[in-house]
Structures are given as structure tokens and as C-alpha cells.
Amino acid sequence: MSLLDVNKLDVRHGLLKAVREVTFSVEKGERIALVGANGAGKTTLLRAIAGAHQSTGGQIRFAGSDVTAMPSYQRSKAGIALVPEGRKLFTRMTVTENLQLARAAGRPGAWTLEAVLEAFPNLKPRLHAKAGTLSGGEQQATAIGRALMTNPDLLLLDEVSLGLSPLVVERVYAQLENLMASGATIVLVEQDLKRAMRVATRVICMLEGRIALEGRAKDLSRDQVTEAYFGLGRAKPAEAGAS
């Protein structure tokens, strides 16, 4: 049984259908890179899975249960955590307060404050600093740590590198390596195709709200993904190496 099953999902922004009949599954331990141009529907899809944006059609099943109509706080308790685009921290609260608040609302498990600080040691000297005073990399680490404090079974990461310098992006991804190597189940939205294909086990490329290409990262060439990314060609499953 898949950990996550999305079946013919539709999501609207007013009159605009941002996600169109999207179907895919995520197995436990997979790392999915969700790529596509701006406006392709990636963020809306993640928000719909997390319950932050209501879907208008289709079904979302998580750990065998239908969560399509479930509010976001219940999905969090069920084991879905979203690191949103823009981080959305409580800027007037300290790093510790942001992390402990998530812990109080989350589930019991291995992700404690100590475990988060071991994964993101750059936060140790900043625990008592207000989140609004942190650097971009520190804010991103805090946002990821906050999600982990809920002890999720599925971690949704939206635009981890957005607004960060290349050097800071390298540092954030270096801190994520242990998390990715631990067998965590992750769906990652990333604009950097090279980086996305390097860290993912599977790539899903969206175009105009639909899945244009899907396959194992090791079976896809960058040219194939680029063509799907810009709508230059629709690769067939056999060509993409999808399974």
C-alpha cells in the first residue's frame, strides 16, 4: 500500500483550475522531486495534499485513509507536514518557541528539539533570537525543523532554495542530507533541475496543472525533463523510463 495516493485531483483558484486531474502515488521512503515552471501548479498541489487549500475534485488517500475532506490540522496529526513557500514563521517568536509550538501540536516520535538541533546545528546559537531577525538560511532551517517537530510520516518541502544565495542553498541541502539518507518520505518542490534530479528517487514534472512527465530520476535525462518543463514535447512513459 502506498503512503500517499492522489487520484484525479482538481484544485481551483477562483475560476482558474490550477491542478487538473493529477494522479500519482508516493511509496514510503521515496523522495519525489516536483518540478515545473512558475504557475505549473506545484505549490497548489502541495497545499492541497496538506489541507491548506481545498480540492474541488478527486481524492487524496494517506496511509490507507481518505483525507480529502480532512482539515489541515487533522492531516498534521495524521502525519503530513508542509514547509510552505516563504517559510511562514512566527517572526516575533524565538526559534525555540517556533519549534516547541509545533511539538505541542504534533505527534510523539524521534524528532525532539535536540534531534532538530543535531540536524541543523546552525540553529544552536540562535535559539533565543526572534525568527524575524534570522538569515534566510536560518529561517529555512527553522521552518524545516518546525515541520519535523510534528514527527511526520510525509514531509512536503516547497521551494527550499527560494530567495537564498547559492552558498546558503548548499548549506541547507547539506543539512538535509542526513534527513534524506534516513529513509524519510519527502515530496520536494525545487526549481533547480540539476539539484532536484540529484536528490530525488523519482521526478514528477508539471505543466499547466497536469503531470507532463513522471519517472525514476536515474532513468530520466535532463533534456527529457527540460522538454516537459517547457512543454516542448510530451515524452511517452516508455521513453521516460517510468515504472
- Residue 159, judged by CB atoms within 10 A of its CB (0-12, 13-18, 19+), counts as buried
Q: What is the pLDDT of residues 40-82, one digit of tens each?
A: 999 999 999 999 999 999 999 999 999 999 999 999 999 999 9
Contacts of 23 by beta carbon, 8 Å cutoff, 6+ apart: 6, 7, 8, 9, 58, 211
Average pLDDT, the chain: 90
Q: Where are the alpha helices (DSSP H) in the chain?
A: 42-50, 72-78, 95-105, 113-119, 136-148, 166-181, 193-199, 222-230, 237-240
Domain of 215, in residue numbers: 4-240
- pLDDT band at residue 234 using 50, 70 and 90 as cut-offs: low
State the CATH number of the domain containing residue 219. 3.40.50.300
Weakest mean pLDDT among 152-161, 177-186, 229-238: 229-238
CA distance 64 to 4: 8
Structural domain count, the chain: 1
pLDDT at 183: 82
Q: Are strands 31-35 and 185-189 parallel, antiparallel or unpaired?
A: parallel
C-alpha span between 82 and 144 (Å, rounded): 9
Which pLDDT score is estimated for 112?
92
Looking at residue 238, its pLDDT comes to 39
Strand 202-207 versus strand 210-216 pairing type? antiparallel
- Residue range 32-44, pLDDT digits in tens: 999 999 999 999 9
